[in-house]
Each structure stands twice: as structure tokens, then as C-alpha cells.
Amino acid sequence: MILRNRSDRRIEIRLQLVCEPSSEPIYEGAYSLESGARIEALDLAAATVAGSGATITVRVTARGQTRSVTVETTDCGEVRGDVTEEGTVDVWASAC
């Protein structure tokens, strides 16, 4: 799980992982990212009991906006949460 701040100011980003279909929260954390910062916040497969193959919803909240994506964890896929130059929040996943 990569978080990136492309805006021109420091941003607080909240990350929440929810296991599906039970809706059980499995992780919640807050990150403060300077302008231009990019961090690898979490290994999604390692964050779940099931590891690879678990279905989770990733929620990213910043600047009063929440966006989410539901993915199956893999060893090679990627999920990103970005705060754009305009200050909007984007969350997306890539498959392998």
C-alpha cells in the first residue's frame, strides 16, 4: 500500500483496511506526509490473517474525502492512495 502526497502542502492521511465479506476492521493508521512525499505504508498481504488471496476494502481519507477500493491481496499487485495536486483523493489498484 503506497501513499503519496502530490499537493503543495503537508497532508494527514488515514488508512483503514476492512476484511470482506465480514466488514471486520483489520488495520487503521494515520500518516502525515509532506508535499511530494511517497511512502510504502503497509504490506497488504502481511496485514491479513489469510495473507495472499484475502479480499479487503482499502479506505483512504484525507482533506475530508474518503475513497476506497476492494481488492484481493497478492504478492505482486499494488494499491495506491494519492492526494493530487488539486487536493482530491484517488485510490486505485493494479493487478499482476
* Alpha helix positions (H), the chain: 44-47
CATH tag, 2-94: 2.60.40
- 50-93 confidence digits (pLDDT tens): 656 778 899 999 999 999 999 887 666 789 999 999 999 999 88
Task: Return all residues near 83 (Cβ < 8 A) that are at least 6 apart.
Answer: 4, 5, 6, 7, 11, 13, 33, 62, 63, 89
In whole angstroms, give the CA distance from residue 40 to residue 87.
20
Q: Order of strands across the sheet with 89-94? A: 38-40, 2-5, 78-83, 89-94
- 8-49 confidence digits (pLDDT tens): 999 999 999 998 888 889 899 999 999 999 999 988 777 666
Domain ranges of the chain: 2-94
